Amino acid sequence: MSFKILFINGPNLNLLGEREQSQYGSTTFKELKELCLKKSQELNIKLEFVQSNIEGEIVTWIQKAKKVHDGIIINAAAFTHTSVAIRDALQIFDKAKIEVHISNIYNREEFRKKSLISDVVTGGVFGLGSNGYILAIIAMHKIINDEN
């Protein structure tokens, strides 16, 4: 069975590979996207991998996913800590949802320790670098397989 997964990346993640390598590593956004597409292909998942710096655009993607996708993986980046709108949209999406962070948001600045989305998602991965993205895809595959 083939599933459709939406992988949403929030603000500044397009700059992976250039921004704060000590936190986010040297893998570029393009490389990360390719790794995720490759893993998805192996698992027979149709992956849509998107990035936006605009909060409203992310909300619209989540709303539209309800009719199209079987699950959402999201690194909401800085919006994780601020966006009630993204939280509300995720709450309305009633299928599997995984939150991902490249860095460990719990051993950084105080303001990053609060995620507004953690309690409305199925589960999360943080602090495992770009491997976390691959692990999230594997976990989503298992969750949806178990549901069907």
Q: Which residues of 133-146 are buried (b: 16+ CB within 10 A; e: fewer)?
A: bbebbebbbebbee
With binding defined as CB under 6 A, does residue 53 bind ligand DQA?
no
Smallest distance, ligand DQA to C-beta of residue 113, A? 9
The reply to whether 101 belongs to the active site is yes
Q: Select the residue interacting with ligand DQA from 101, 116, 125, 130 (CB under 6 A).
A: 101
Encoded one letter per residue, x for contact with ligand DQA by CB under 6 A and - for no contact, window 2-31 reads ----------x-------------------
Write out the binding residues for ligand DQA, residues 59-88 only, by CB under 6 A.
75, 77-78, 80
Of the residues 69, 101, 133, 141, which is catalytic? 101
Catalytic (active-site) positions: 24, 101
Judged by the rule CB under 6 A, the positions of this chain that interact with ligand DQA are 12, 75, 77-78, 80, 101-103, 105, 112
